[in-house]
């Protein structure tokens, strides 16, 4: 590990104070969050420890945001009122981990430990989105941040595609994941400073999606005098070279949806996708949908290497579902319990939290992330294109969580922002009715 690691990690907190003193809370939050996700080192969990809290990249970002908000007079002007739509995140960050620990006789301290870490890994980012991102212009800022995040990563991705994923090793002295997983198709899968190449691929796909939708609806024509179409094509090509079939497929489908979407009438398709998400988890938990059927069907679309990866994930689902007998409601409570049957590493986020917190935790998590998009697409009104794009991003992220566990705090912040925008629309409607 190089001296740059502690310098950047702990230096991010005073930098956050500077951002919040100089910019609006919205732009300061985006600089801290997006900048941190892109450029801070993804440190191993064993590197730093505080009482109760294990220091990770996302924990540092939580600390930086909280300190920046507390130190900023501008941020204090934004009031926060708890709404009924915030109950899922409150349950997720407090009741779910404590109930799971107590139901497994692991003690209140263990549940409290889980709750503190969960609040820092999820609650802080959701809170930032809920408190500061309420207007259409704020969603425009998020979209620009995603586009610029993709643009800044293009040269870094190109370097790692050509030279191998060496940036983290050269700058920080360690590699964030398994090197073998980043050798793909006779070349290299870039990872830069993220948790995994799959996490990077999804980020680049979302950057391409946002830029393409902006070009399609003529939201902007140029970015720094460069035609937005050129920017979009560059990001699409770069997404292809990140060598993730899933991310490229997601990108292709959401871009294709841009040609189908025609206002409120098209929102029914988004609602159907959200419902399918919950139906899929139900059918896999109950074994109504067999892994053999899925693998056989998808083998007609994807190559042997991708099917092997998918088959391993489906095998994990079946083994862990069998291990949940007697623990369906509140899960195993952590500490590696419930991983019997030869499953040492679990890839899918939904499986991890189902095993940890049971059906109660799984339903709470997906409700937390999807309640914003669901409430917005239910409205029979024309929504800003930024809101539609970000809703689709959250839905795609939660679909990706059926396969992977790459927790990007930017998406959690967006989930909170979408709930906030729904509340803002409701409040404006009440004011108009009163008038």
User: What's the pLDDT tens digit per position in 404-414?
Assistant: 888 899 999 99
For residues 147 and 170, membership in a common domain is answered with yes
- pLDDT score of 364 more than 90: yes
For residues 313 and 346, membership in a common domain is answered with yes
For residues 250 and 294, membership in a common domain is answered with no
Domain annotation covers residue 11: no
Domain annotation covers residue 107: no
Q: How many whole angstroms separate alpha carbon 418 and alpha carbon 274? A: 15
Burial of 313 (0-12, 13-18, 19+ CB in 10 A): middle
For residues 284 and 186, membership in a common domain is answered with no
- pLDDT score of 325 more than 80: no
For residues 329 and 397, membership in a common domain is answered with yes
Which of 260, 295, 327 terminates a domain? The answer is 260
Residue 238 confidence class, pLDDT cut points 50, 70, 90: very high
Supply the range of the domain harboring residue 416. Answer: 262-435
Positive/negative CA dihedral, 165, 64, 406, 373: negative
Average pLDDT over residues 85-96: 94
Q: Where are the alpha helices (DSSP H) in 242-266?
A: 245-260
Place of tokens 């925008």: 421
State residue 435's pLDDT score: 43
Residues linked to residue 226 through DSSP beta bridges, in sequence order: 223
Domain annotation covers residue 23: no
Residue 123 confidence class, pLDDT cut points 50, 70, 90: very high
Percent of the chain at pLDDT exceeding 90? 50
Q: How many whole angstroms separate alpha carbon 56 and alpha carbon 188? A: 26
State residue 186's pLDDT score: 74
For residues 272 and 375, membership in a common domain is answered with yes
């Amino acid at each position: 590990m190089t001296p740059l690691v502690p310098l950047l990690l702990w230096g991010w907190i005073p930098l956050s104070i500077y951002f919040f003193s100089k910019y609006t809370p919205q732009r300061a939050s985006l600089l801290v969050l997006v900048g941190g996700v892109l450029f801070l080192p993804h440190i191993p969990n064993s590197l730093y420890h505080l009482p109760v809290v294990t220091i990770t990249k996302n924990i540092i970002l939580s600390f930086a945001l909280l300190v920046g908000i507390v130190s900023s007079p501008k941020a204090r002007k934004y009031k926060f009122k708890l709404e009924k739509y915030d109950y899922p995140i409150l349950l997720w960050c407090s009741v779910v981990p404590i109930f799971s620990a107590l139901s497994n006789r692991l003690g209140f301290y263990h549940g409290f430990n889980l709750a503190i870490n969960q609040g820092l890994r999820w609650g802080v980012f959701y809170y930032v989105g809920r408190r500061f991102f309420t207007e259409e212009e704020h969603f425009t800022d998020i979209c620009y941040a995603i586009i610029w995040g993709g643009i800044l990563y293009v040269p870094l991705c190109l370097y790692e595609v050509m030279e191998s994923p060496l940036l983290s090793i050269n700058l920080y002295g360690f590699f964030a994941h398994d090197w073998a997983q980043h050798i793909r198709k006779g070349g290299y899968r870039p990872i830069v400073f993220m948790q995994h190449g799959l996490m990077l691929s999804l980020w680049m796909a979302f950057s391409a999606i946002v830029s393409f939708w902006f070009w399609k609806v003529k939201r902007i024509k140029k970015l720094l005098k460069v035609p937005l179409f050129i920017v979009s094509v560059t990001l699409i090509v770069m997404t292809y070279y990140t060598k993730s079939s899933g991310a490229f497929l997601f990108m292709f489908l959401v871009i294709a949806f841009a040609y189908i979407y025609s206002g409120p009438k098209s929102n029914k398709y988004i609602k159907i996708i959200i419902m399918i998400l919950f139906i899929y988890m139900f059918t896999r938990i109950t074994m109504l949908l067999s892994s053999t059927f899925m693998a056989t069907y998808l083998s007609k679309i994807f190559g042997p290497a991708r099917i092997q990866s998918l088959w391993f994930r489906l095998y994990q689902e079946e083994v862990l579902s069998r291990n949940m007998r007697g623990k369906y409601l509140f899960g195993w409570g952590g500490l590696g319990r419930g991983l019997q049957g030869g499953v040492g590493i679990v890839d899918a986020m939904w499986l991890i939290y189902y095993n940890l917190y049971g059906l109660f935790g799984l339903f709470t998590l997906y409700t937390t992330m999807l309640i914003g998009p669901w409430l917005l697409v239910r409205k029979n009104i024309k929504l800003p294109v930024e809101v539609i794009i970000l809703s689709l991003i959250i839905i795609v992220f939660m679909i990706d969580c059926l396969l992977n566990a790459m927790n990007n705090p930017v998406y959690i912040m967006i989930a909170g922002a979408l709930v906030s925008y729904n509340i803002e629309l409701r409040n404006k409607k009440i004011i108009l009715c009163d008038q």
